[in-house]
Structure 1
């Protein structure tokens, strides 16, 4: 026996037992490889994804590794969940690496060199690390069990929760505990009792000493060791073989999903070919792209998307997790030979009911919360396109489509009325069609036609005048940008509106497009440059504004007004005296914050006015949607509590200032509309005012 600390790999296992183990290992590997191959071969049956997913693969893998190994997404909004997952992930990987090290020593190093490196200090270090990480692994699994079965964390349960979820968590627990049981029995039985050097395996040594205290002898431990070894080995081999066929597959599919993610997913949507004969429908499960099918397999049922979804919180029939898992479940039934049913329909039998997709606010909270980068919004938009194709569109939305087609705006008012709001100003707003300007101001539908939002537009005009900058608007040549029409599935109407608006832009001389509405800002920034107008060159119904792509090289800057005004303040061009003393809170619009990471400019401007700013508990990327996006502004819902009502309650009850908050500041016209409605329906009219940031700025500037 070696005098150096070590242990025997197959102690008490006969040569026949070793052969059986090798055979079972080979079978396990074959079953595992076949399962993984089958999974990835299935993705190839989906249609090609419209965006590159494997370009610059080295950078993608490095970034995915950083995201996966840091567990940064798991820590988002859930510290305990992040720690739990980190313990499980790093514990599992360490145990896997430890097993690999033993294999390398036994089957490669020792045969070549003639001696083992698994001795002395290496053995002691190895044993300590394995015990430490094994303990963290068991702790992580124990936290998971506690949250699932004792606390019964609501987001972990749903209609897709089943036996495989129980089997997954308990099999991991058995593997972790079984590893310590195996090692502790070895520590007690291998050399006639626990040796001092074995104390580095502090958990196993403690357990071995406990057995000894309870009266278990070294010879008894030696006798039962083979049974414990086989039990642990068979569970481990079964688990490895099971991975590709059930929930454990997320350990592979999730990483692949992060590698192939689109960093701009949601902020930009896949386009639809101009050819009317092109098959862009989502009638069958294989009409989804291979990346969308991978999305479905990557879902871990963690419910993070469900817990942040404002539609679900307000009682609408949308649960983002269920949509993804419903599609996955149907795909598996379809592959098993079950009868085909429509993917989405308005009533009747279908995988997804139309009311579910109509409930989506396109706020992208589900995607932001998802730890494995599932792109829910691409699924939702494809199904909305199918509803448009089938003419299964809500009547209110259909009216909006008609208004846009006939009048170029969502209100259905004549285009000549679009600039009427300028007549109430005591100065003339410049016409960008007639003179060169630095800032081409795209006002948008609601600031142009909605009475309350017209005050926002007038205030911004006063701010531009105070800054004495060269700006102008398009007057009646301006048309709706169609961001939300696109998210409701009317892709060709979106392209038609984009072509008209870009045509109006091209007729002007300017440097920067300034948007009042974050929805407009998002689509003009991220989606207009994606449109290949060359595809529509032969369409007699569309006047193509440019050959190919517009602004693909970034010739023009596109900014939200908060960015522009913040720049003017910083440069000294605009002076905003801190003349106001309101106690306020600020709401991050989804399309400005979560979509485009613009968080600081609006806050800097609020502070410049002198207001006492108190943050909402859910702020920045965690902001809660007003309910107006994705067509929500035009829909009628049966809701338990409107998102706007819940948000105003939060402002008055959950901010540090509590009911001392006087003004609820918004930087989005849709938010203004939704929150003014929420003030009325939620009975907050006497408690808080909803103001546009431009109104605060204009008031402060005029107070100078």
Structure 2
């Protein structure tokens, strides 16, 4: 292959606007300036829209966030997760487009800046040849990725790319989302045409200038264009014909590229910038630690679109409609009128209609709640389990759950909630628990125990056990609670309780949207903990664990806290607890949302099961992809529609497909309640059982005839 050394360096280049008359060059620059002006106006409209939102509280370390964003964008890990094929294709498109953009900018710098201002050309010689090769490879990457995406949408058609809305009926005026499909195809066709015409233009130039040695002899530095040129010559195209075709195609390619640039702020293309901005503003604890309401705030939650922070308005534009949140949502899977994607798209449409105008509409037309076009239905907002599956899988860091909770806060303030939820909140306010039981009964579960549990309010303890509502009051969970107390007692752990001083931790109260009650609960619990002497906290409730760990510090309550699974795993590893026999059960484990996705507590439960001798078969959806039981976000206090399967029942169907399953293992009081009920209603009672991990640990420590594995008779007894 020839290099620049075979020719005069200055001649190894491409002459811009070669053979173009002056008026044509002037016309191109005029169109280019017009495209940039349209682009700039669109950017102004978008910035004005975001400025109409509320400010984001707290300082923002833009340098650190920018670095994190660049890493995510560079490695594409959020796009490749659970969809590696789409990730590879998007990576090809992204890097192909980026190199082509940089290459175009390089030509502009050489022609319009360094050459005109300093009289210096650098776009020639070996630099130019390697430039051509890089641009050819980038074009192949871009076109290849786009072809896959077109095949994916046109033939593979994954369900998550179906924009059918679960929150609307076909007769509703905003049910039809076919406009998004047309936009998707327009985006793909425009970009692929830009890429393909770029190759054809290069090939036509080679045929046109085939008699110029410096052009033809270096053609293989543009391998794709060279192959196309050979094909065109074999088809009988000569230099004059190539010149004519090149002129027409040059204008088509140039106008298409400039139109693409001009439309960036107005179309899907803007996700190039909004997705990057959303990733840069990403809060790793977005759903784990919900925002406080400022004391001076005149309103609660999101009622009007102008109540949104500018960050959440940016989130709305960042959504690429990939459908991963739609696919992951347990409410959507169970047939509820909720798709996280559709909530975001509805709010985006509403924001564009209301905030992109020169003047804001009246207050009534800014209200995002209701049954109107673009508004979010109350039923949709209350369907959310706040399980964070949508936030966790979103490749562009959209904060669906915090947005939905903000919408709930306004509904709660206006009293627009199910009567059952309202009664539960009233019970929690009155008695500090969701069972509406007297505070004095909170530790009644401990009365049958043959030993006393210390009162941490009266005497110092090493470990304070924050029990939680379901573990304290639900009869089935009380058996587990007593088993855990016995484990700690027999292991000589110095532990105590708050007794009636403990109140509901407030995690689900906050996610229901009752921020005022949450703050009251948090402040009461922090005050009570402040009166107690302890070194660390343990809890058997992942919901309590999440809010005490992640949210109480905002109220001055910072503690060393762990979920019981990490405590028991450590005690087993250290030999403090020694299983007496191997539990030869075939088990599967359900990762609770608030321990797993919220707090990355994946390993400890599995370490315990391995130490107990269980044969663990992972669920198809496990760890960060675990499927919510349906209890979160206060849904355990709400009735589900009759005749529709609940998320917990769908989970039971998934478990039932595991051959030879003995035990479905949980480590959350709400999970135990939800799944034991679902086991019966889904028709699998007697085929396997639902057990708390604590119960399996206790069983492994119990005296038995022999120290070997569990016998067939013992297994049958467990399944009975």
Question: In the alignment, which of 173, 189, 203 is matched to residue 184 of structure 1?
Answer: 203
Q: 452-461 or 251-260: which moved more?
A: 452-461
The two structures have a TM-score, normalised by structure 1, of: 0.92
Equivalent residue, structure 1, for 2:451: 427
User: Does the CA contact (< 8 Å) of 1:429 and 1:473 recur in 2?
Assistant: yes
Residue 408, structure 1, aligned to residue 432, structure 2: yes
The verdict on how the C-alpha distance between 1:294 and 1:347 changes in structure 2, with shifts beyond 3 A counting, is closer
Shift of 1:266: 0.4
User: Does the CA contact (< 8 Å) of 2:440 and 2:500 recur in 1?
Assistant: yes
| CA distance in structure 1 between the aligned counterparts of 2:536 and 2:304, rounded to whole angstroms | 43
Equivalent residue, structure 2, for 1:692: 692
Shift of 1:110: 3.8
Shift of 1:434: 2.5
User: Does the CA contact (< 8 Å) of 1:346 and 1:392 recur in 2?
Assistant: no
Structure 2 gap segments, 5+ residues each: 1-6, 164-175, 708-720
User: Does the CA contact (< 8 Å) of 2:349 and 2:374 recur in 1?
Assistant: no
1:536-685 superposed matches below 5 A: 549-551=556-558, 556-577=559-580, 579-638=582-641, 640-653=644-657, 658-685=658-685
Question: In the alignment, which of 141, 147, 162 is matched to residue 146 of structure 2?
Answer: 141
3-state SS in 1 of match to 2:551: helix
Residue 363, structure 1, aligned to residue 383, structure 2: no
Residue 309, structure 1, aligned to residue 309, structure 2: no
| CA distance in structure 2 between the aligned counterparts of 1:60 and 1:381, rounded to whole angstroms | 25
Shift of 1:660: 1.1
| CA distance in structure 1 between the aligned counterparts of 2:50 and 2:372, rounded to whole angstroms | 29
Q: 571-580 or 206-215: which moved more?
A: 571-580
| CA distance in structure 2 between the aligned counterparts of 1:662 and 1:183, rounded to whole angstroms | 66
Residue 173, structure 1, aligned to residue 209, structure 2: no
Equivalent residue, structure 2, for 1:495: 519
Q: 24-33 or 360-369: which moved more?
A: 24-33
1:370-417 deviation digits (Å, cap 9, x = unpaired): 111011111101110111111111111111111101211001111122
| CA distance in structure 1 between the aligned counterparts of 2:590 and 2:495, rounded to whole angstroms | 27
| CA distance in structure 2 between the aligned counterparts of 1:17 and 1:378, rounded to whole angstroms | 53
Residue 229, structure 1, aligned to residue 234, structure 2: no
Residue 475, structure 1, aligned to residue 505, structure 2: no
User: Does the CA contact (< 8 Å) of 1:346 and 1:355 recur in 2?
Assistant: no
Question: In the alignment, which of 314, 318, 326 is matched to residue 294 of structure 1?
Answer: 314
Equivalent residue, structure 2, for 1:544: none
Residue 118, structure 1, aligned to residue 119, structure 2: no
| CA distance in structure 2 between the aligned counterparts of 1:379 and 1:460, rounded to whole angstroms | 37
| CA distance in structure 2 between the aligned counterparts of 1:686 and 1:188, rounded to whole angstroms | 77
Equivalent residue, structure 1, for 2:264: 243
1:530-586 deviation digits (Å, cap 9, x = unpaired): 13xxxxxxxxxxxxxxxxx222xxxx3011111222222333333335521111111
Equivalent residue, structure 2, for 1:12: 19
Residue 37, structure 1, aligned to residue 44, structure 2: yes
User: Does the CA contact (< 8 Å) of 1:459 and 1:698 recur in 2?
Assistant: yes
Equivalent residue, structure 1, for 2:713: none
Question: In the alignment, which of 284, 296, 299 is matched to residue 279 of structure 1?
Answer: 299
1:451-501 deviation digits (Å, cap 9, x = unpaired): 111122122112212321111111222111111111111111111111221
Q: 34-43 or 685-694: which moved more?
A: 34-43
User: Does the CA contact (< 8 Å) of 2:305 and 2:368 recur in 1?
Assistant: no
1:118-170 deviation digits (Å, cap 9, x = unpaired): 33322222212211111110111111111112222222231444132222122
Shift of 1:524: 0.6
User: Does the CA contact (< 8 Å) of 1:32 and 1:244 recur in 2?
Assistant: yes
Structure 1 gap segments, 5+ residues each: 532-548
| CA distance in structure 1 between the aligned counterparts of 2:20 and 2:251, rounded to whole angstroms | 9
1:82-125 deviation digits (Å, cap 9, x = unpaired): 01111111111010011112122223344567553333322222
Shift of 1:56: 2.1
| CA distance in structure 1 between the aligned counterparts of 2:372 and 2:198, rounded to whole angstroms | 52
The verdict on how the C-alpha distance between 1:290 and 1:346 changes in structure 2, with shifts beyond 3 A counting, is closer
| CA distance in structure 2 between the aligned counterparts of 1:232 and 1:577, rounded to whole angstroms | 76
Shift of 1:2: 4.8
Equivalent residue, structure 1, for 2:286: 265
Shift of 1:14: 2.4
Q: CA-atom RMSD, angstroms?
A: 2.0
1:21-170 superposed matches below 5 A: 21-52=28-59, 55-111=60-116, 114=119, 116-158=121-163, 159-162=176-179, 163-170=182-189
Shift of 1:226: 1.2
| CA distance in structure 2 between the aligned counterparts of 1:46 and 1:144, rounded to whole angstroms | 34
User: Does the CA contact (< 8 Å) of 1:342 and 1:349 recur in 2?
Assistant: no
